[in-house]
Homo-oligomer: A and B are copies of this chain.
Amino acid sequence: MFEVLISHIQQKVSLSDTDKIRLQEFFVPKKLRKKQYLLQEGDICKNLAFISKGLLRTYNVDEQGNEHMSVFGWEGWWLSDFNSFLSGEPAVFNIDAIEDTEALLISKANYEAITVAIPVMDRYFRILYQNSIVTKERRLMSSITDTAEEKYLRLSESSPQIIERLPQNLVASYLGIAPETLSRIKKNIASRK
């Protein structure tokens, strides 16, 4: 389980051998079956989850009962309701497993502690968050600026894995469009070439 995490960290910063050992103390492994919740709306999000295997989704549900995908995460991704985790407010997001999943959980206290014990983790998270900001900024501008078809094409460019790995109705929700619309868009694109 930890190899995936350690190699992910070492892509961004370098860890000593003792760091690699110590680091493991801060995490708790957790297995999730398909459809199982990691977090439910209204609960306090107690952990950040690093996914070492499997596939999760983060989403909220509006008053009409429609789900809106926020983030998908698989091997090498971190997930949480970040606001709830940081502030202690109730979560607005649900997180559940689309495939059987293995994750490593780190609590708020351990998240604070690990950056003290292993200072380079501040830098690791800083770099992780930098990249996350760029991704979210792109998705936001796409959401504001692009037509439905442009949103789909941009996602195909930037995150083909999402399109390959997830059912089409969840992709549509991630793009903020109706599943029927996505179906028609794909048909149009296919017929054009």
Contacts and interface: CB of A to CB of B under 8 A. Distances in A.
A110 interface: no
Q: 9 shortest A-B CB distances, which residue pairs?
A: A144-B176, A129-B129, A122-B122, A126-B126, A136-B136, A83-B134, A122-B123, A143-B143, A140-B140
Contacts of A19: none
A86 B137 contact: no
A180 interface: no
Interface of A: 60, 62, 68, 70, 82-83, 86, 115, 119, 122-123, 125-126, 129-134, 136-141, 143-145, 176
A38 B12 CA distance: 30
A86 B70 CA distance: 24
B137 A136 contact: yes
A130 B82 contact: yes
Contact of A133 (B115, B132, B143, B144): B132
Given A115-B123, A125-B126, A143 B145 contact: no
Given A70-B141, A126-B125, A134 B86 contact: yes
A82 B127 CA distance: 12
A133 to B, nearest CB: 6
Given A122-B126, A126-B122, A126-B126, A145 B82 contact: no
- Identify which of A131, A132, A144 gathers the most chain B CB atoms within 10 Å of its CB: A144
A141 B86 contact: no
10 contacts: A60-B141, A82-B130, A119-B119, A119-B122, A125-B126, A126-B126, A126-B129, A129-B130, A136-B140, A139-B140
A78 to B, nearest CB: 11
Contacts of A136: 133, 136-137, 140
Contacts of A122: 119, 122-123, 126
